[in-house]
Amino acid sequence: TDRETESGDGGGDTGGTLNLVNASMTTLDPVAASDTASSEVTTQLFDGLMHFPNGGIPVKPLLAKGYEISDDFLTYTFTLKEGAQFHDGTEVTANDFVYAYERLAGSPNSRDAADILDAVGINHERDSEGSYEPGTLATEAVDDYTFRFEISQPFHAALQLLSNDQFGALPEGIVGDVEGYEGEMPYGEFASENPVGAGPFTLEQWESGTSAAVSRFENYHGSGPKIDGVQWQMIEDSTAVYNYAMEGNADVFDIPTANYSASKVSIERTDDQGREFGTYGPLRNGETANYLGVPTLSVFYLGFRMPQVPKPVRQAVAYALNQNTTVEKSFKGRGVPAYHYSVPSVYPGGAQAYEQHAKQQYPYGYNETRVDEARRVMEEAGYSQEDKYELELTMYQSKTWQETAKRLRDKLASAHIAMTIQQAQFSTLLTRVRNGSVQMFTLGWIVPWAAPDAFVKHLNPRTSSEDVKAQESYNNWSTDGEAAQKAISAWEQVQNNTAPTDSAQQARNEAYVAMEEANWAAVANLPVYHETTSRFWYDSVDIPPF
């Protein structure tokens, strides 16, 4: 987990408050926080068994001091640190992990049950409707400092996944949203006012849509934190974010793409993970800032509620979109064009195989706009300039996405599609997408572990409906049809070959490619770009890059 643990005021080795900017949050409950804005705060509040120190690899113990994996890869046993405390002063024990994992699996508030039940695959039972049977999760507190669980089949990325916030420790019984626990406080209090975890910071305040603040947990089990706290101002508009940073109100900040110039970046070194270090400037205020560029495990895409948008319309949008032009013109090169859901670094065979497959197989035109084909599929579906299909794109507030949307709208106009654009706060957009009240939408996905299955699990029709408890995506993709069946079969192949062995890896690789191709055929989610995220900070801020 990437943490901010150095001085934010440049005044010495410790102390000060780090001032940041964030988007609107939805919750402080780690099992309910599926948006980036909420996760930026919850990662400071909750610690789990494992973490990625300073954002690097490999994964290492955090609240665990060691672990053992059985020879058959099915039993994981963790020895916990002794004396680690929650924010309420109680000690972290194995029973707290039993409870926390039960919440992740069975709480009605959990948005990540699939991560523990299906991805990690901890043994459990299901009822006649296929839902998790409460209390059946195969976790065990062997003693106060030994936590064990058993999984149904080997999973190559189990330890990586355990580093995510939703697997964080919680005081046993803190809320009563799972069977067998009455709860020490109401759920609403925990999720918005008093999120008790074992992370390096405790919550000071959260005013929805305005600000949030955390303060140093003096009894933190790990090293640091070396600052007094972190303050987030919640600003949605990118121009307002930039003005806020240029006035010196943010210590570490991003520069909106509309205000960004690639010519102002000077790269001094690149590490073995592709992370770029250097300077950027001059800024509008005349200063030169430190620069960090990091290729992220992300995909940003145009999603469709498939029953509400006919396939010819989805195909026409794909034909009209030129990912390369979009990245260069709208996003100013801050990323790479996305033709697959998986990023190049984890795609089977790596970046070279990613590009080769896209160039040879992508059906809607690699690095080209094919409005003629868009027009053809729409005319074959019965549409014309006199009878256009009305399509509404709902997007989060972003000038770069707005520019992309306008360019796409103009191209589609000659392909018998009248596209309108609606903007919403991110939290509002997420709510509307989840309840199905949109046709087409913009979203991004930053994966919880570095492997293709973390991406393509979103392309499984069986988990794309709001009627499914373990909902992974929001397309409401019918399980009928050739593409859907291909995706379902491929995902089953992934699930049947999860071991950390070469033969299982080969089987997964074949299935990953099949799922990407099924998504191409159905146009469920249309990949646009993989982001390179940037971080800027002033010399007056004494903070390391990680």
CA 206, CA 214: separation in Å to the nearest integer?
9
Range among 3-7, 33-37, 85-89, 476-480 rated most confident: 85-89
CA 406, CA 422: separation in Å to the nearest integer?
11
User: pLDDT band at residue 472, thresholds of 50, 70 and 90?
Assistant: confident
CA 321, CA 329: separation in Å to the nearest integer?
13
Q: For position 56, what pLDDT does the model report?
A: 73
Q: For position 325, what pLDDT does the model report?
A: 96
Kindly state the helix (H) or strand (E) to which residue 142 belongs, with its residue range: strand 139-143
Q: For position 19, what pLDDT does the model report?
A: 95
Region 380-389: mean pLDDT is 97
3-state secondary structure 430-486: HHHHHHCCCCEEEEEEECCCCCHHHHHHHHCHHHCCCCCCCCCCCCCCCCCCHHHHH
User: What domains, with CATH codes, occur in the chain?
Assistant: 30-39+47-185 (3.90.76.10), 298-532 (3.10.105.10)
Has residue 9 got a pLDDT over 60?
no
Determine what percent of the chain is predicted with pLDDT higher than 70: 96
Has residue 193 got a pLDDT over 90?
yes
Q: For position 463, what pLDDT does the model report?
A: 85
Region 461-472: mean pLDDT is 73
More confident residue, 114 or 393: 393
Which CA distances in Å does 108 have to 34, 103, 132, 232? 14, 8, 11, 29
Has residue 544 got a pLDDT over 80?
no
Has residue 6 got a pLDDT over 70?
no
Q: Which two tokens stand for residue 47?
A: 């610690």
User: pLDDT band at residue 36, thresholds of 50, 70 and 90?
Assistant: confident
Has residue 7 got a pLDDT over 60?
no
Region 219-239: mean pLDDT is 93
Has residue 540 got a pLDDT over 70?
yes
More confident residue, 172 or 436: 172
Has residue 5 got a pLDDT over 80?
no
Q: For position 2, what pLDDT does the model report?
A: 24
Has residue 11 got a pLDDT over 70?
no
Three-state secondary-structure class, residue 302: strand
CA 296, CA 277: separation in Å to the nearest integer?
15
pLDDT tens digits for range 434-457: 888 999 999 999 888 889 999 999
Has residue 525 got a pLDDT over 60?
yes
Region 173-188: mean pLDDT is 96
Enumerate residues 6+ apart whose C-beta is below 8 A from 329.
403, 407
Q: For position 236, what pLDDT does the model report?
A: 87
Q: For position 176, what pLDDT does the model report?
A: 96
Q: For position 468, what pLDDT does the model report?
A: 58
How does the average pLDDT of the chain come out, rounded? 93
Region 319-325: mean pLDDT is 98
CA 427, CA 26: separation in Å to the nearest integer?
6
Tell me the pTM. Answer: 0.75
pLDDT tens digits for range 401-434: 999 999 999 999 999 999 999 999 888 998 999 8
User: pLDDT band at residue 535, thresholds of 50, 70 and 90?
Assistant: very high
Determine what percent of the chain is predicted with pLDDT higher than 90: 82
Q: For position 375, what pLDDT does the model report?
A: 98
Q: For position 57, what pLDDT does the model report?
A: 74
Has residue 8 got a pLDDT over 80?
no
User: pLDDT band at residue 31, thresholds of 50, 70 and 90?
Assistant: very high
More confident residue, 149 or 6: 149
Q: For position 14, what pLDDT does the model report?
A: 64
DSSP line for 209-272: TTEEEEEE-TT-SSS---SSEEEEEE---HHHHHHHHHTT--SEE---GGG--GGGEEEEEE-T
Region 61-74: mean pLDDT is 97
Region 461-466: mean pLDDT is 82
Contact 498, 463 (CB under 8 A): no
Has residue 10 got a pLDDT over 70?
no
Has residue 545 got a pLDDT over 80?
no
Q: For position 40, what pLDDT does the model report?
A: 94
CA 476, CA 252: separation in Å to the nearest integer?
39
